[in-house]
């Protein structure tokens, strides 16, 4: 078991989500908004964020994978499950846990654009600006972080650590 160094505490995450929820609620007031969570990493972020959104919303999910069990992106994005309902003429906000190389976000925006939503934008909890070559603009961003592999709050290393209630970095040492 590796030790985890805290990067963002539950309190820091919660307070930022409150602000993001307020902003989204104001911007989309009177519109038909669908939050599209990107599985699996975004499930916890979406669940917490949507509690701070005060307008009626739909929630849907799709699944993509680009990392496998590695800590660097394979560069190949694969859709593992699709939306359950059409998004045509709806306002769609894609909810991602992290934009790293930006390849997943770019793939998703290009894919969903073909389904003719009324609008399409990206919300991400984390961005590594140093790596984001995908060039997709993030309309709602929680935090910018340095180029370190992060786990917790939905994000995994080799399928583990998603349930850690904060965002951390694995320290390369063994526990006694
Ligand atoms: C992670 C993360 C994003 C993507 C970001 O997903 O959840 O979807 O990678 O990386 P990128 O900007 O370099 O494309 P991952 O493939 O690890 O799947 P998971 O969400 O199921 O953990």
> Residues 46-70: pLDDT tens digits?
999 999 999 999 999 999 987 666 6
With respect to residue 163, please indicate whether it lies within any of the assigned structural domains. no
Reported in sequence order, the residue ranges of the chain that DSSP labels E, i.e. its strands, are: 2-8, 33-39, 57-65, 78-81, 91-99, 119-127, 140-144, 150-151, 167-174
Dihedral, CA of residue 101, residue 8, residue 142 and residue 151, to nearest 10: 40
- Can you read off the two tokens belonging to residue 139? 């309309």
Provide the pLDDT confidence category of residue 175 given band limits of 50, 70 and 90.
very low
With respect to residue 74, please indicate whether it lies within any of the assigned structural domains. no
Q: Is the pLDDT of residue 74 over 90?
A: no
With respect to residue 47, please indicate whether it lies within any of the assigned structural domains. yes
With respect to residue 54, please indicate whether it lies within any of the assigned structural domains. yes
With respect to residue 161, please indicate whether it lies within any of the assigned structural domains. no
With respect to residue 133, please indicate whether it lies within any of the assigned structural domains. yes
With respect to residue 135, please indicate whether it lies within any of the assigned structural domains. yes
In total, how many domains does the chain have? 1
With respect to residue 160, please indicate whether it lies within any of the assigned structural domains. no
40 Cα to the center of ligand 1, angstroms: 8
Active site residue ranges: 100
- What per-residue confidence (pLDDT) applies to 71? 65
Q: Is 32 close to ligand 1, i.e. is its CB under 6 Å away? A: no
pLDDT digits (tens, 9 = 90+) for 96-143: 999 999 999 999 999 999 999 999 999 999 999 888 787 889 999 999
- What per-residue confidence (pLDDT) applies to 2? 82
- What per-residue confidence (pLDDT) applies to 129? 86
In ligand 1, the atom with minimum distance to the C-alpha of 102 is 12
Return the half-sphere exposure (C-beta side, CA atoms, 13 A cut-off) of residue 95. 27
Q: What is the CATH number of the domain that holds 39?
A: 3.40.50.2020
In ligand 1, the atom with minimum distance to the C-alpha of 80 is 21
Domain that holds residue 128: 10-60+85-147
Contact 166, 39 (CB under 8 A): no
Contact 7, 144 (CB under 8 A): no
Distance CA 174, CA 176 (A): 6
Q: Is 101 close to ligand 1, i.e. is its CB under 6 Å away? A: yes
pTM of the model: 0.93
């Amino acid at each position: 078991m590796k030790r985890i160094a805290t990067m963002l505490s539950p309190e820091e995450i919660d307070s930022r989500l409150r602000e993001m929820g307020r902003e989204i609620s104001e911007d989309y007031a009177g519109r038909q908004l669908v939050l599209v969570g990107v599985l699996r990493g975004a499930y916890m972020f979406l669940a917490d964020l949507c509690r701070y959104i005060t307008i009626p919303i739909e929630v849907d999910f799709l699944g993509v994978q680009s990392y496998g069990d590695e800590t660097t992106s394979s560069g190949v994005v694969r859709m593992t499950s699709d939306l359950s309902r059409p998004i045509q003429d709806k306002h769609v906000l894609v909810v991602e846990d992290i934009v790293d190389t930006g390849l997943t976000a770019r793939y998703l925006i290009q894919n969903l654009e073909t389904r003719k939503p009324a609008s399409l934008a990206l919300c991400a909890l984390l961005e590594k600006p140093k790596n984001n070559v995908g060039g997709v603009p993030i309309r709602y961003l929680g935090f910018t972080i340095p180029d370190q592999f992060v786990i917790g709050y939905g994000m995994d290393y080799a399928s583990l650590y998603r349930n850690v209630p904060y965002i951390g970095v694995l320290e390369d040492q063994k526990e006694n």
